Structure 1
Amino acid sequence: MKLPPLITATLLALGLSAGLVPAALAQQDADESVSPDITVRQEEDRTIREYRVNGQLYAIEVQPKAGPSYYLVDDNGDGDFRRSDNERVVPPQWVLISW
């Protein structure tokens, strides 16, 4: 039995969209799990923000009362922080599974 082209196209579109919905939901869950936890501490001469993902400290922002803020960044996860004056710190967002 051969189906008319309109019905075939409709069934194909429904089948494709059904496959895309779980992938979109998985991507949304992956994005939410990467959002950093930020801890803010106030000291007498500066404010310190610690950025963590899954409990791992990867960046520290130091905002002195006078002067611009700066960042201490752990690039490779070994606990060795280096100073970075770049104001944009991006949490790691690796794609582990993709369809």
Structure 2
Amino acid sequence: MRTHKILLMLAFLLPLMASAAEIPDNLEPLPEPPPPPAGMEGENPEPEVTITKKGEDTVEEYRINGNLYMIKVTPKVGAPYYMTKEDSNAGWARSEGDIAPTVSIPKWVLFRF
């Protein structure tokens, strides 16, 4: 019970102590940050989308920096589905409907013969 009283008193006194702290008079604003280095202008680049028709289906390919990472296939009949890059060795995973984080199965190389 005594600890509760001490904690309660500290909870009321800490804001009073913080407001009583002195603010120095010689504060200056921070300088403007330098521009980003060359090649780093677009940190979050927009994906390049290529839309093609393959028969009755519409295929949208999404690329960032030239790397294909997702394909959206919209068939004439039925719901669209996505093919997302599972790993760097061209493994693709299909997901129906909405893009959701999938469970990534580890694919470590233990031995090579």
- TM-score normalised by structure 2 residue count: 0.55
- Bigger radius of gyration among the two: 2
Aligned length: 76
More helix by proportion, 1 or 2?
1
Q: Deviations over 1:28-74 (max 9, x none)?
A: 6312xx32111100122210001111111111100001110000111
Question: Which structure 2 residues correspond to residues 56-95 of structure 1 after superposition, within 5 A?
Answer: 56-88=67-99
**Post-superposition offset of 1:14:** 3.5
Say whether residues 1:30 and 2:38 are aligned partners: no
Moved over 4 A (4+): none
> Using the alignment, how far apart are the partners of 1:86 and 1:39 within structure 2?
20
CA distance in 1, matches of 2:87, 2:63: 14
Q: Cα RMSD between the aligned structures?
A: 2.9
TM-score norm. by structure 1 comes to 0.61
Contact kept? 2:80, 2:97, Cα under 8 Å: no
- Structure 1 gaps, min length 5: 90-99
Q: Which has the higher contact order (CA 8 A, sep 6+)?
A: 1
CA contact (8 A) 1:58 1:77 kept: no
| Paired-residue identity, % | 30
Task: State the shift of 1:86 in Å.
Answer: 4.7
Matched to 2:48, the amino acid is D
